[in-house]
Structure 1
Amino acid sequence: MATIPAKRSRTLVDSEVQGSLVRRVALHWIVFFVCNTIALTFWIRLFEQPDADWGQTFGDTVRRFLPFFVITAALIPAFVWDTLKLSHRFAGPILRLRNTLKDIKAGRAVAPLKFRDNDFWQEMASHFNDVMRLRDADGPTGPGGSEIEPAGREVSDG
């Protein structure tokens, strides 16, 4: 069984999935930030400065809540990075499974599937390994005793 390094060296393991996730988290934080700014502006206008114009109210809101805005904006990259790191725990195992399935399809021998200790879906690797053991015990035959070619097409004996 191959030794698996404890730390991933790539920032994006599956750029399609993880890129979508990062964009979504960043978008949610930006929408949250904008909605909070609007809500605070309305609150101040309605309950603290009902006679002020909207420009003055918005300026007062920004000045008053500037530390909150700065902290919120500074947290966006931290939350995006943490989400990206967490996503490695499911994107990495799926990538490993996908590559192993490609190897099987190409007719290459594969080692038992092993995910990193902290990865999600450990049970999936265990089930995959069980299926591979059953397959190896039965030999490379499909239903009805027909041989299975590496590309997955069945060839009849007769």
Structure 2
Amino acid sequence: MSNRRRFLVDRPVQFAIIRRMLVHWCLAILTLMVIGVFVQLAFTPDGVSLTQAIARSYAAQGPLLALMFVLMPVYIWDVVKLSHRFAGPMLRLRAIMSELADGGSATQLRFRPGDFWQETADDFNRFYDAHLALKDRCTELERRLERYERDEEVAEEAAPVS
């Protein structure tokens, strides 16, 4: 994974994962804050107002909030690194399949150590070998057909006209 040159290898997929993580992260922070306010309202003697409960809750949870925001980039970085392990292999698979579909002869599929879906690469490589064998067989049959058609034309020209 450390050999990757790009921060994001499949932007739509990886941005979707980052967005989802940030939504969950923000919901968790919001939930913690609401619970803190509820605790201040429910368990503080002398009945506090809502604004006092919010202020006390933020004061009590301020260090936690600061820590959560400081750690957010670390978690984003970790999610991106983890997503490389499946986004990179799919990008490589798509590129090879596109090359084959365009008539090229791509190489076998190889994933980096630690990437997910190593079995997919093995299955694809079995398919790739079968594809090449069928492609070679088709080429051979086309050559034979061309020779047969040429031999047939030569035979027709050489045949006496009656």
Task: Quickly name the TM-score band, shorter chain normalised.
Answer: 0.7 to 0.9
Unaligned runs of 5+ in 2: 143-162
Structure 1 residue 118, shift from structure 2 partner = 0.9
Asked if the contact 1:6–1:116 (Cα under 8 Å) also holds between the matched residues in 2, the reply is no
118, 121, 125: which one aligns with 2:121 = 125
Aligned twin of 1:23: 19
TM-score, normalization: structure 1? Answer: 0.82
1:101 corresponds to which of 78, 97, 100: 97
Task: Return the offset for 1:137.
Answer: 2.4
Alignment of 1:8-157 (within 5 A): 8-49=4-45, 51-139=47-135
Determine what percentage of the aligned residue pairs are the same residue.
33
How big is the alpha-carbon RMSD for the aligned residues of Structure 1 and Structure 2? 2.0
Structure 1: which amino acid aligns with 2:95? N
Q: What SS does the aligned partner of 1:139 have?
A: helix
Alignment length (residue pairs)? 140
* Structure 1 gap ranges (5+): 148-158
TM-score (norm 2): 0.80
> Would you tell me which structure has more helix in proportion to its own residues?
2
Q: Is the 8 A contact 1:17 1:91 kept in 2?
A: yes
Taking the aligned partners of 2:45 and 2:3, their CA distance within structure 1 comes to 54
Deviation for aligned residue 1:141: 6.5
Q: Is the 8 A contact 1:103 1:109 kept in 2?
A: yes
Indicate how the Cα distance of structure 1 residues 106 and 50 shifts in structure 2: closer, same or farther if over 3 A, else same. Answer: farther
Is the partner of 2:100 in helix, strand or coil? helix
| Mapped partners of 2:15, 2:119: distance in 1 | 26
Larger Cα Rg: Structure 1 or Structure 2? 2
